[in-house]
Amino acid sequence: MCGIAGLILSSGAPPPDPATLSKLIDTLHHRGPDGTGHAVVGRVALVHNRLSIIDLVTGDQPLFAGPATLVCNGEIYNYRELRVAMPAVSFATNSDCEPPLHLWLREGADYAQHLRGMYAIAIHERMQRTVTLTRDPFGIKPLYIAQVSGGLAFASEPQALLEAGLVARKVRPAAREELLQLQFTTGTDTIFEGIQRLLPGETLTCADGHVLDRRRVSHIPEGGPENIDEDAALERLDRALEESVDLHQRSDVPYGMFLSGGIDSSTLLALMARLNSQPVLAFTAGFDAPGAADEREHAATVAKALGAKHETIEVDERMVWQHLPEIVACMDDPAADYAIIPTWFLARRARQDVKVVLSGEGGDEIFAGYPRYQSAMKPWWRGGRAMWARGSFDRVDVLRSHPSTWRSGIAAAEAEAADGGRSRLAAAQVTDMTDWLPHDLLLKLDRCMMAHAVEGRTPFLDPGVANAAFRLPDAMKLRDGVGKWILRKWLEKHLPVARPFAPKQGFTVPVGEWIKGQGSRLGPLVAAQPGVAEIADPDKVRLLFSNIRRWRHGFACWKLLFYALWHRRHILGLPPAGDVFETLAAR
């Protein structure tokens, strides 16, 4: 896990500016505090900040082989197998990132089809003067690109491009609508004018300051539901899950896992306990708030049954108000998901003991765990409803103009997901895996973990697991109103103490109640922020914060608070100035 960036300038442009490269490195320091490296050849520059995980001695980057240079953010889990498959290659390091460089020399832009991992990679070929940019097919690791003066720039985070002065700080209104209504943004274009994402699975070939070619691969299996019985499905699933967790544990530094007590994290802990001779270190967060769902007790029961070393943290209101400006500041590509709060605090605690954490993101998408899938499976005439059909501000009247195009990106994802003979359920899963997963859940995990230089790994997002589970019959995913049915059956067999079929509280953050308690104080501060005043009526904002009567009011207040802090940091360019109240009051 690292931070990468670079410039791909045209032949007529000045050479890369050393001051610009230094700014890129400095801005991404939190992603890789263990070392920096760079390579400048002609009009191409690559920079790298390293978080040392595998090959602590010889794994510094950039890596060089023949006419090619590589920088990578991520981990290639099958690097040992790739080395064995290339006996003629004389490897210079033990790094997991060196095999992709030799694969690229052998196969060109198609090299990534052999990789199993999470990655954002840049490879410069000096003779052809091309740069190949590649992102993993699930979108676990981020990569952004922008047309800038003289050519192209790329980076692991948009804020690096902004802080280096390569792109102006300007909001794209259509993406702002998505953020307010959905809590994340969709597609290639980010919320920043001029900055684009590489989509999951994309490979771009660039030269002379331009993108020459785009190609894309997917790890989502094609076709409709397969014919398989339950026993065979469970056996196959067990093999795939064990292999994936085994690969995701490859590390030269200590690792642990996040345990919520739910189906996904309990499954991961069961497999880690099976594969490790020493107790697994598990971290759980809970909330000090009346009525808040808190599964620390159940997580402790699961951890005890598996002999894990269990660490818990309690997140209270004081902690949130104190650190929320820092938390929002790390979400430069914004996702207004209140789960950023516990994720950030868990990462901060985990960093005291480990540098790698396994987490359960992707389980709901791969195994169909969301309640919204039940409605999406039904046709409209039977009461079915499209996912993401209603926006957060549809029934909260505070915005100056009602959002009108916010669902366009989701609609495009739905249309694409419906192709290929998929069932309604599988199409709904693919829709979520197109935008919700990479642009909310994985983005949240990446930014909150990297804010503390911790690597987050997601064993459910693995091609072996996807091949074993995604094309299972719908009834093995969703049965009698219960999602993730086959995964629950696996857990029932291997860890019955987890009570996989018992009703779950769910994992919620009591942010609405906290805002309600401070509404009269927060409302005027949020309403006065330039970013909020531009899009909402200040009087209505103040009234909303002081009169939270329903869940949707509290959620709308959370999004306005998030946007106020985000706009202040990433559009106005102002750093946090203390706690929430001090930061919003600062001028």
User: Do 573 and 468 lie in a common domain?
Assistant: no
0.95 exceeded by pTM: yes
User: Do 490 and 540 lie in a common domain?
Assistant: no
Which residues, listed in sequence order, are joined to residue 283 by a DSSP beta bridge? Answer: 258, 311
According to the model, what pLDDT value does residue 292 have? 72
CATH number for the domain that contains residue 442? 3.40.50.620
Give Cβ neighbours of residue 228 (< 8 Å, ≥ 6 apart). 236, 472, 473
| Cα 107 from Cα 102, distance rounded (Å) | 9
Q: HEC profile for 81-107?
A: HHHHCCCCCCCCCCCCCHHHHHHHHHH
User: Do 308 and 255 lie in a common domain?
Assistant: yes
User: Do 300 and 322 lie in a common domain?
Assistant: yes
How many C-alpha atoms does 425 have within 13 Å on its Cβ side?
24
Which residue is it, tokens 């909001």?
171
| Cα 177 from Cα 173, distance rounded (Å) | 6
| Cα 163 from Cα 192, distance rounded (Å) | 13
According to the model, what pLDDT value does residue 370 have? 94
Number of helices (H), then strands (E), in the chain: 25, 17
According to the model, what pLDDT value does residue 507 have? 59
Which residues, listed in sequence order, are joined to residue 5 by a DSSP beta bridge? Answer: 47, 155
According to the model, what pLDDT value does residue 377 have? 83
Which residues, listed in sequence order, are joined to residue 257 by a DSSP beta bridge? Answer: 282, 358
How many domains is the chain built from?
3
Within-domain flag for 527: yes
According to the model, what pLDDT value does residue 509 have? 85
Q: Decide if 160 contacts 73 (C-beta within 8 A).
A: no
From residue 37, alpha-carbon distances to 49, 60, 62, 92, 221 in Å are 7, 7, 6, 17, 38
Within-domain flag for 221: no
The amino acid sitting at 197 is: R
User: Do 209 and 61 lie in a common domain?
Assistant: yes
pLDDT tens sequence for the chain (587 residues): 699 999 999 999 999 999 999 999 999 999 999 999 999 999 999 999 999 999 888 899 999 999 999 999 999 999 999 999 999 999 999 999 999 999 999 999 999 999 999 999 999 999 999 999 999 999 999 999 999 999 999 999 999 999 999 999 999 999 999 999 999 999 999 999 999 999 999 999 999 999 999 999 998 998 889 999 999 999 999 999 999 999 999 999 999 999 998 999 999 999 999 999 999 999 999 998 776 777 899 999 999 999 999 999 999 999 999 999 999 999 999 999 999 999 999 999 999 999 999 999 999 999 999 999 988 887 766 767 889 999 999 999 999 999 999 999 999 999 999 887 899 999 999 999 999 999 999 999 999 999 999 999 999 999 999 999 999 999 999 999 999 999 999 999 999 999 999 876 655 789 999 999 999 999 999 999 999 999 999 999 999 999 999 999 999 999 999 999 999 999 999 999 999 999 999 98
According to the model, what pLDDT value does residue 94 have? 95
In degrees and rounded to multiples of 5, residue 225 shows phi and psi of: -60, 140
Within-domain flag for 225: no
Helix, strand, coil shares of the chain, percent, nearest 5, are 40, 20, 40
Within-domain flag for 560: yes
Q: Which of 115, 65, 128 is nearest to 93 (CA)?
A: 65
Find the distance separating the first CA and the last CA of the chain, reported in whole Å. Answer: 36
Upstream peptide bond of 62 is cis (omega within 30 degrees of 0): yes
User: Do 246 and 205 lie in a common domain?
Assistant: no
Q: Which of 449, 254, 436 is nearest to 362 (CA)?
A: 436
The amino acid sitting at 500 is: P
Q: Which of 53, 49, 142 is nearest to 96 (CA)?
A: 53
Within-domain flag for 503: no
Whole domain around residue 99: which residue ranges? 2-216
What DSSP character marks residue 192? B
User: Do 134 and 66 lie in a common domain?
Assistant: yes
Domain endpoint, select from 184, 216, 248: 216
What DSSP character marks residue 554? H
Within-domain flag for 504: no
Let me know the angle formed at the C-alpha of 530 by 529 and 535, rounded to the nearest 5 degrees: 100
User: Do 315 and 398 lie in a common domain?
Assistant: yes
Positions of E strands within 324-386: 356-358
| Cα 413 from Cα 178, distance rounded (Å) | 14
User: Do 234 and 310 lie in a common domain?
Assistant: yes
| Cα 510 from Cα 527, distance rounded (Å) | 22
Positive or negative: CA dihedral 18, 19, 23, 29: positive
User: Do 257 and 112 lie in a common domain?
Assistant: no
Domain endpoint, select from 186, 216, 246: 216
In degrees and rounded to multiples of 5, residue 48 shows phi and psi of: -150, 130
User: Do 255 and 140 lie in a common domain?
Assistant: no
User: Do 379 and 431 lie in a common domain?
Assistant: yes
Within-domain flag for 108: yes
| Cα 456 from Cα 362, distance rounded (Å) | 13
